[in-house]
Amino acid sequence: MNKLAEKQKFKQSLNHFIQTLQNYVNDDSGKWSIKGFIDIYKNIYTISADTKIVSKVLEIHIFPLLLQFAEKNGYKIVLAEHQNYYPDISFVSIYDENIRFAVDFKTTYRNPTKPHLCNGFTLGSHGAYFTDRNSTKNIQFPYGSYLGHFCLGIIYDRTSSRDIDETKIFQLGELQSIVSVIGNFQFFVTEKWKIASDKSGSGNTANIGSIKNIQDIINGNGMFSQLGEEWFDDYWINYRKIKVKQDGGEYLTINNLKDFVIYRQGNPDLIVYSNNKE
């Protein structure tokens, strides 16, 4: 099995797949075709603009197409058994169980005042299953058993809260008048290491952060993109674990990529610094 060829083939197929999503999720005006939730009495309740709710409904919305994609390309889908498991979806070849790919949904919104930036997202944990590639803790299959780790991403605009009334109940005949909470979708597929930053993605939790420049995300121009995946793995496995003695005798924890590359005697000129300034 040529692992590199299998990964490239999967990536190309996934890239082709996301080209079909634009018309599927959009209405005629470029807004989200999902308008709300309906009950058995045909009452429609608008969707909250909360990012977690939007993300989950988007996943549900495109999941039938993902099933078709898997069947067409010779994969079966294995969903994460628990909410905090990685990844969201495992694609496993029906011909060879050793051919499997991790795919995480990543959704985020554009910065309304700096539309070249997005809010960013986390790229999974750098904890137990990441450091021990044979671990089965909080992961569907051991990390090292995947041939590639991909993000299927959706970047969107949020509708102004002034235009949304979450307290109003609509009737079926009013469906077209309901304001979509998001729109102007941009889809992308990339290996997660290619869009990683060198900072944690969510406060005190052990999550890898992403870059925020949208064009760099689309093009896979993250901080490690010129260094390579091995540098990404090495950095995040050892994140904030290495201390270097200073001239004054105190020890300084390495917590940025430049210091880490210098410590490992690599070439810091290969670090890609994104325009994340707000």
Residue 88 is a catalytic residue: yes
The whole-angstrom separation of Cα 166 and Cα 168 is: 6
Q: Which of 106, 192, 194, 212 is catalytic?
A: 106
Residue 212 is a catalytic residue: no
Tokens 């990685």 — which residue?
86
Q: Percentages helix, strand, coil for the chain, rounded to the nearest 5? A: 30, 30, 40
Cβ-in-10-Å burial (0-12, 13-18, 19+) of 214 comes to buried
- Within a 10 A sphere around the Cβ of 129, how many other Cβ atoms? 22
For the chain, the farthest-separated pair of C-alpha atoms sits apart, in whole angstroms, at: 74
Q: Which of 7, 31, 35, 104 is catalytic?
A: 104
**Phi, psi (rounded to 5 degrees) for 229:** -65, -30
Q: Are 43 and 169 in contact (CB under 8 A)?
A: yes
Q: Which of 11, 76, 88, 132 is catalytic?
A: 88
Amino acid at residue number 199: K
Residue 96 is a catalytic residue: no
Question: How far is CA 244 from each of CA 140, 253, 259, 260, 264, rounded to the nearest angstrom?
Answer: 36, 6, 10, 10, 12
Q: Which residues are catalytic?
A: 88, 104, 106
